[in-house]
Structure 1
């Protein structure tokens, strides 16, 4: 194989620096203004496919994992480069609400199922979200069934719920072997109640006098899914867990630095809550700040906004008109991890530290699912799950990058087709066929990427053939030339455009014939 001289290398680098603009795209990457946080983005569509995708900023697939089951609903990468995936196995329980799960799976980078574990019966069922802990254990959200008699005996008013009550529990699972799992810690919401129905029932008192407890009669209707907790995050500095209760329109913080026995007592009461003071008698509907929210996340150390919390405030039922906002709060916490609350006031803060809404607020509205996270460069990655849209905004609200999931009920879409629309995704207000629960961005130095082949392949969406575009960036340019030259004289099929078994001048001729942006 011929060697490349210094001049050739310089020429190639100049050509490679010329990126093809992705103008006119209707799906996939439809906006890339630069200034984005480098990294790869992970997501698992909820309805169009059971696959999970890891893409780069051009929408090219770096890795994907197939499954026989739909997610339920979150997916994450581990620091070992594995995929942790929630699963809805279908049947197995009479508990069956939105984002019902019951099974966890861990897949290797190359798509081998390494571990699975189920927690599903007629008495309990995993749902929505999990959280990886630094020790390798996994926090899970699960419903647990409380019979009608048990609920009424705890002070719940008869006729204000379904055939049973499904409060939440948080469990910590220690995986073992290929299918083993031991619950090593648990917290049960039903251990932390207050009720003002009658002194003849336990935990009697005015909810306003007990803001760290959960009013057993808040949100009375015909549903068994009382709290509908839909997301959580873990703070390793504080050893605390934050939980989103959609039905209470609140986020709750609980202490993980307890034993299971301690978590059942006062040490397991809510440390902090925010979003709807009426839920504990310290406000009215006018004081409500959250509306069907999802995905509370602590901002990590070193990131702009630390030590605040970001919340995807869906806006479902917001006064006036429905629109979504990403809200950042700074809770009133001291250096010991304690949260202050004064007199008869609700938990603060009164004001938001930062908030994003679209320039036309109603143009950004996702009534269900969805999430957001602060990135290291100060931008915020937002997943508008109901319409399959993932975008990144700068601190001033300027949109820097936008990706529309290129999937509909028929599978992969052709570039140029209109984005999916209409129902088919489920949830309040319906959803598009390309709905997605959340998207997670992983930085280039994420430990799980060490030693992995991160060479991107084609995009999910289907493009017309573009001979010579070896790196799938929709342009035949210096980067493709570099691949041909680096494979010169070999049998490398990735650069053998003629398919004659050798990379040579004939392949170079085809490449130059197609030089420039792809049609």
Structure 2
């Protein structure tokens, strides 16, 4: 790409030289320079610049530059087919594939011990929007389930991202339905019939206990009713959420 850009710039210089000078020697020198750049661009024995398409089992890799590729495989989460597999970079062939018990809920991570930490979707959620999930699983290389945690009901559902912590606990995002009396208590005047807030929970896989929780409901602000909780000046509290 840099060579093509240089050739384009060089061509502009060539046209300017012809327009501004009738010196044939100057024109010839520029043409010789352009020929040298073209030869450098099309050098066939330069392994660093090897960029080529790769035909694979599930599709094609359009561009593959080996000089920019690190050793190892690529983990693919193919949400449209609810598939997770490892693919070789240089051949686009599938090296290993896991059989999922449920559809993808948006996030799957390959851990250092070869297991998958997966956010999966329940089959019949009580409510759903975006990348809903409801189920977290630790999946062994042979597709057996090492651990499972389910949170999917009328008021709460796990969604999108999960993360393994250094202590072995798992972080998950949760949508929480706020009931009408909760909204009325803080002077909510919105038109939505149902309002969902966000929380982050830390789960201990050994006990399935939620050992820590961050709740966005504890960080809201409202400026509609000074007699109700969370009242304040919104502009003076940028770290809080305007209900």
The TM tier, using the shorter chain, reads 0.7 to 0.9
What is residue 75 of structure 1 aligned with on the other side? 108
Give the match for residue 61 of structure 1.
94
Q: What is the alpha-carbon distance in structure 2 between the residues aligned to residue 141 and residue 135 of structure 1?
A: 18
The C-alpha deviation readout for 1:310-360, integer Å capped at 9, x for no partner, is xxxxxxxxxxxxxxxxxxxxxxxxxxxxxxxxxxxxxxxxxxxxxxxxxxx
Q: Flag the structure with larger Rg.
A: 2
**2:78 equivalent among 40, 45, 59:** 45
Q: Structure 1 residue 100 and structure 2 residue 132: aligned? A: yes
Q: Secondary structure at the match of 2:181?
A: helix
Native 8 Å contact 1:196 1:206 kept in 2: yes
Does residue 88 of structure 1 match 2:118? no
Higher percent of residues as strand: 2
Alpha-carbon distance between aligned partners in 1 of 2:82 and 2:53, rounded to the nearest angstrom: 30
Deviation string for 1:236-286 (max 9, x for gaps)?
xxxxxxxxxxxxxxxxxxxxxxxxxxxxxxxxxxxxxxxxxxxxxxxxxxx
Counterpart residue number, 1:141 = 173
* Inter-partner Cα distance in structure 1 for 2:103 and 2:68: 30
- Does structure 1 retain, via aligned residues, the 8 Å contact 2:54–2:64? no
Asked if 1:193 is matched to 2:231, the reply is no
Tell me the residue number matched to 1:512: none
Q: Per-residue CA shift, 1:269-304, capped at 9, x if unaligned? A: xxxxxxxxxxxxxxxxxxxxxxxxxxxxxxxxxxxx
Match of 1:154 among 186, 191, 212: 186
Alpha-carbon offset, residue 210 of structure 1:
1.0
CA distance in 2 between counterparts of 1:184 and 1:73 reads 24
- Asked whether the equivalents of residues 43 and 54 of structure 1 are also in contact (C-alpha less than 8 Å), the reply is yes
Cα shift readout 1:147-169 (whole Å, capped 9, x = no counterpart): 1231132232142x2x2211001
Which of 195, 200, 205 is equivalent to 1:165? Answer: 195
Partners of 1:80 and 1:125 lie apart in 2 by 28
1:74 counterpart SS class: strand
> What is the root-mean-square deviation of aligned Cα atoms in Å?
2.2
What is the CA–CA distance in structure 1 between the aligned matches of 2:146 and 2:181, rounded to whole Å? Answer: 42
Instruction: Tell me the TM-score normalised to structure 1 length.
Output: 0.35
**2:231 counterpart of 1:174:** no
Alpha-carbon spacing, 1:141–1:60, altered in 2? closer, same or farther (3 Å)? same
In structure 2, what is the equivalent of residue 34 of structure 1? 66
Aligned residues: 191
Equivalence map 1:467-482=2 (5 Å): none
Q: SS where residue 184 of structure 2 aligns?
A: helix
Distance 1:128 1:200 in 2: 37
Q: Distance in 1 between matches of 2:53 and 2:197?
A: 49
RCO higher in 1 or 2 (8 Å CA, sep ≥ 6)? 1
Q: TM-score, normalised to structure 2's length? A: 0.72
After superposition, where does 1:301-450 map in structure 2 within 5 Å? none
Q: 1:25 offset after TM fit, Å?
A: 5.3
Unaligned runs of 5+ in 2: 1-46
Counterpart Cα distance in 2 of 1:207 and 1:185: 28
Cα distance, 1:21–1:214 mapped onto 2, change above 3 Å: closer
